[in-house]
Structure 1
Amino acid sequence: MYRQQRPLPYVFEDRTGQLLGSDFDDMYDRLFFRVSRPVPNKPVTMIYDMGRRATRHRDSLPFKRDPIAILEFGQGESLGNITYCTQKGSTNVSIPMNRYLRKTSLFGGSLSRKFTGSDGREYRWSYRTTPGQEWTLTTGDNYLVAHFDLKPPDVWVMDVSGNTLTVYETFIHLSVEILATLTIMRHIAQYNL
């Protein structure tokens, strides 16, 4: 008897679990991203499509890639602008982060925000609202899109970090937007914005 297989989600291992300087590699080698601040002491975070799995020697190699997203933070790490980079020759448009990633309610907290994806749908990030998930992303009608999980400090893992970003296959076309908005949400939490 043949059973139809459900699509495999993209499970990105967050190599460090830190806000900056981490690689996100899909466990099935389909997509590879890096989030870093290439210029020390400058509040600009870049997201790169790496094209291959991270290695232990990545940081010692010359880095010559164009970013796919730029997160420019303001003075004191305040929210600034986000830019999704298009192909060369096209104009990139910067959007203020507060306008792009809005609070879900007027008097709501900063750790629950929504954005409109490039597909025109509304998506919502929430912090620790689902057991076992650090961050949860849902559609406007509460369908699970992605979640970010940090390894609990008392759990031992071997050869992996235990930190993961899971993006369900139906929404993989938004992977850059998901990673960019997650990075902003984690920034908001870290700096109490």
Structure 2
Amino acid sequence: MANRALPFFLEDRTGHNASSEFDDVYDRLFLRVATSPERAGMPGTSTVTIYNADRRSSRQRDQRPQGKASVVLEFGHNGGLGRISFVGSSVSMPMNHYLKKTAMFGTSLSRKFRASDGEEYKWTHRSLHNQEWTCMDSKGYIVAHYNLKSPEKPAFNTSGNVLTIYEPYAHLAIEILASLTIMRHIETHNL
């Protein structure tokens, strides 16, 4: 019997990696990504917090993130990888231990992580047609994918940027978004 569960289609309102809202088009899940100001005594570093929000964001951006902080990403000097910390648990580790390259001499844009369910998942960049980023489980099933709107395509009352998370993996939404945020950071900073 086919699985007819509806995926979570999270519209990425801005397309900016460190500052956006991800709202499910069916109002089931609302996530926020917000950058904190530079920390005193730590020039060149940045902190990105991912919030599990309780409501859809308004079209006029509210500067105060609504919801509960779930993950804190601390990036190092000049865009280098830093630490990932899961709020409410004792899990905190260097990002390069959380997201490991899939091959010693392979590209940085193919990395795997072990999620809270004990399973391993892998992000790849442009490995499948029409998907900017693809996340697969260890059996090769697509878990999530992310696409930015092509500049030549019109957008009608939406941004056109979408993170799709398939329903069986919805419980990993925060981890999927956190790992995607790091992967996009790696691409942007050529790490």
Same fold per superposition (TM over 0.5): yes
Amino acid at match of 1:71: L
Q: 1:13 aligns with which of 11, 19, 32?
A: 11
The answer for the alignment partner of 1:71 in structure 2 is 73
Deviations 1:123-161 (A, max 9, x none): 000000111100000011111100001111110011000
Bigger share in strand: 2
Percent identity of the aligned residues? 48
Give the whole-Å Cα distance in 1 for the aligned partners of 2:56 and 2:45: 27
Counterpart pick for 1:38 among 12, 15, 36: 36
> By how many angstroms is 1:57 displaced?
3.2
Matched, 1:51 2:49: no
Q: 2: distance between equivalents of 1:131 and 1:54?
A: 31
Measured after TM superposition, the shift of residue 93 of structure 1 is 2.7
Shift of residue 38, structure 1, vs aligned partner: 2.6
Q: Return 152-161 or 62-71, whichever deviates more.
A: 62-71
Equivalent position of 1:98 in the other structure: 96
- Give the corresponding residue for 1:84: 86
Q: Within the alignment, does 1:179 sit opposite 2:177 as a pair?
A: yes
Say which SS state the counterpart of residue 68 (structure 1) adopts: strand
- Is 1:135 the counterpart of 2:133? The answer is yes
Aligned to 1:108, the other structure's residue is in SS state coil
SS at match of 1:184: helix
Letter in 2 for 1:52: R
Q: Unpaired runs of 5+ in structure 1? A: none
Q: Is the 8 A contact 2:133 2:145 kept in 1?
A: yes
- Post-superposition shift, 1:58? 3.7
**For 2:103 and 2:18, how far apart are their aligned partners in 1?**
28
Alignment correspondent of 1:146: 144
One-letter code of the match for 1:54? S
Asked if residue 118 in structure 1 is aligned to residue 116 in structure 2, the reply is: yes
| Compared CA separation, residues 63 and 129, structure 1 to 2 (3 A) | closer
Name structure 2 gaps, 5 residues minimum.
Answer: 39-43
TM-score w.r.t. the length of structure 2 is: 0.92
CA shift in 2, pair 1:153/1:83, >3 Å: same
Q: CA deviation at 1:21?
A: 1.3
Separation in structure 2 between the aligned mates of residue 177 and residue 140 of structure 1, nearest angstrom: 16
Matched positions, count: 186
CA shift at 1:4, angstroms?
A: 7.4
